[in-house]
Structure 1
Amino acid sequence: MKRLLISSIKEIYSWFIRLLSNSNRQNDIVEQVCYLMSFPNNDQGLIEAIQQHYPIVVLYSKSCKDEAKILEKNGVSIYCLDTINGLINAIKQLSISKVIVADNYFACLGDIMFKETQTVYQLWHATGAIKQFGLEDKAAMKRSKKDKERFKRVYNAFDYVFVASKKMGEVFKRSYGFSNEQILLTGFSRTDYLVNGTKKNKQKDKRHILYLPTYRDRIPLEKWLLDIECVSKHLNEHDLLQVKLHPHVKLTQEMIMDNVEWIVSNQSADDYIKQADVLITDYSSVAFDFTVANPDKQLIMYWPDEVIYEEITGIQKGIKQDFPQKVVYTLTELLEQLNSNQQIDNQRFNQLWNTYNDGKATSRVVGEIKKVMDGEK
Structure 2
Amino acid sequence: MTDDVRVSCAVMTHPRRAGAARALARALPELAPTVVMDPTPEGPPSTLRTSLAAWSAMPGWATHHLVLQDDAEPRPGLIAALSALVAAHPERPLSLFCEWGSASATMVRWAALGGHGLAECVDQYVPTVGFLLPATAARELVDTVDPRGREDEPDDEALARFLERTGRTALVTVPNLVEHDGDLSLVGNGHRMGVRRSVLLRVAADPAPDTRILRAPALVPFVSWRRARASAACWGTERRRHSGHRGHLRTALSDRGPSHADLVRELDAWLDTEPGRRLEGKLGFGLAHEVWLAATAMAVWAPLPERILAEPVDRARGALATLAPGGLRTVVPEVLTDTEVRDDLSALVLAAFAFGVRSRATGAAH
When normalised by structure 1's length, the TM-score is 0.27
Q: Which has the larger radius of gyration?
A: 1
The TM-score normalised by the length of structure 2 is 0.28
